[in-house]
Chain A
Amino acid sequence: MKFGVIVFPGSNCDRDADHAATQVLGQASELIWHKDTDLKGADAVILPGGFAHGDYLRTGAMARFSPIMREVMAFADRGGPVLGICNGFQILLESGLLPGAMLRNRGLKYRCEHVHVRVEQTDTPFTCGAEAGQVLRIPIGHGEGNYFAPPDVLQMLEANRQVVLRYTAPDGQLVDDANPNGSVHAIAGICNERRNVVGMMPHPERACEPALGGVDGLVILESIVKAFATA
């Protein structure tokens, strides 16, 4: 299969995602500039982490209007798998592909550390290789990961099982101390109603080789290949 990794001015995890796709997963991958207007035949699209357009105004606010986003939205509409990692998640929120918004972290600090997230849903192209309740140790690095949605939207997310990942203690228990940014319902990742678009704050591409200090992110990336093979 072929990955398409979108490169915005200010993206800084694009090469990592591309490396993970080609060197770790052994798949084809192409970096796609944000001004491009086609996805070069990608079977899955990754919006990588970073600071697209400097994150001026709001995180992801301007990236949403990059020309390639029209193609990404059409791809998502066709059911194509789209993964937004960190800044990519923020872009998905601003573009309306996922509901909600990001606020500054509770405590205002940029948090760069390993966290634990529990896999809540396994019927997405990005978690189908994981077990429900599986706890993954994956790094985060963000200042604006405090997920917010109004109460009615939160209720809808929970009712539709759209919360894909939650911050938990290493044993999978929901405790407030394990929530690094104050996200409502300890949300670390969500999917759309159709379940083909997922946004997550932790970086699976930073935890997919032993040299990186952990391989728990691998299951997220391998899920994409598995989903493609069984589609």
Chain B
Amino acid sequence: MGHPPTPWALRALMRRRADMLGGEGMRRMRARVFVTLKPSVFDPQGRTIADALHSLGYDKVEDVRQGKYFELDLATTEMAQARELAAEVADKLLANPVIESYRIEIAES
């Protein structure tokens, strides 16, 4: 009651909570977030990598698109909640919706 918890107290609380979730057979969730440039957006890095592969003789590699990969360890056991949380942070920070799209995979960690 009274004052809200200080940031450090909150962090300690969250750590304890995470420990509890992690122990005693409780499974946590891991989200894999794949962020790529939208198909309509030119990818100069991907093009350069493709050019390099061609000069190495890999003519069958027709095109390369590069992107970013994130693993998020989530303190939840709920698949739906994990997906929702991962989508929220992808929308807010991990991807720029103007140029990028993302795909999420959820698994028990």
B is a partner of A: yes
- A contacts, CB < 8 Å to B: 57-58, 61-62, 65, 93-94, 99-101, 103-108, 146, 148-150, 182
B68 and chain A: residue at smallest CB distance: A57
Chain B, residues 28-41, CB within 8 Å of chain A (1/0): the string is 00000000010011
| Residues in chain A near residue B41, CB distance under 8 A | 103, 148
Q: Is B93 an interface residue (CB 8 A)?
A: yes
Whether B96 contacts A94 by the Cβ 8 Å rule is: yes
Which chain B residues in 20-57 approach chain A with CB under 8 Å?
Answer: 37, 40-42, 44-45, 48
| Residues in chain A near residue B99, CB distance under 8 A | 101, 103, 148
| Residues in chain B near residue A100, CB distance under 8 A | 98
| Residues in chain A near residue B37, CB distance under 8 A | 103
Ranked 6 nearest A-B pairs via Cβ: A101-B98, A101-B99, A104-B44, A101-B96, A108-B44, A106-B44
Residue tally, chain B, CB below 8 Å to A: 12
Whether A103 contacts B42 by the Cβ 8 Å rule is: yes
> Which of A58, A146, A149, A150 is within 8 Å of B44, CB to CB?
A146
Given contacts A100-B98, A148-B99, 20 further A-B contacts (CB under 8 A): A57-B93, A57-B94, A58-B96, A61-B96, A93-B98, A103-B44, A104-B45, A105-B44, A106-B42, A106-B44, A107-B44, A108-B44, A108-B45, A108-B48, A146-B44, A148-B41, A148-B42, A148-B98, A149-B98, A182-B44
Give Cα A94 to B98, complex, Å: 9
Which chain B residues in 71-109 approach chain A with CB under 8 Å?
Answer: 93-94, 96, 98-99
Give Cα A93 to B96, complex, Å: 10
| Residues in chain B near residue A58, CB distance under 8 A | 96
Whether B98 contacts A150 by the Cβ 8 Å rule is: yes
| Residues in chain A near residue B45, CB distance under 8 A | 104, 108
B38 and chain A: residue at smallest CB distance: A150
| Distance between B39 CB and nearest chain A CB, rounded to angstroms | 12
CB pairs A–B below 8 angstroms (26 shown): A61-B93, A61-B96, A94-B96, A99-B98, A100-B98, A101-B96, A101-B98, A101-B99, A103-B41, A103-B42, A103-B44, A104-B44, A104-B45, A105-B44, A106-B42, A106-B44, A107-B44, A108-B44, A108-B45, A108-B48, A148-B42, A148-B98, A148-B99, A149-B98, A150-B40, A150-B98
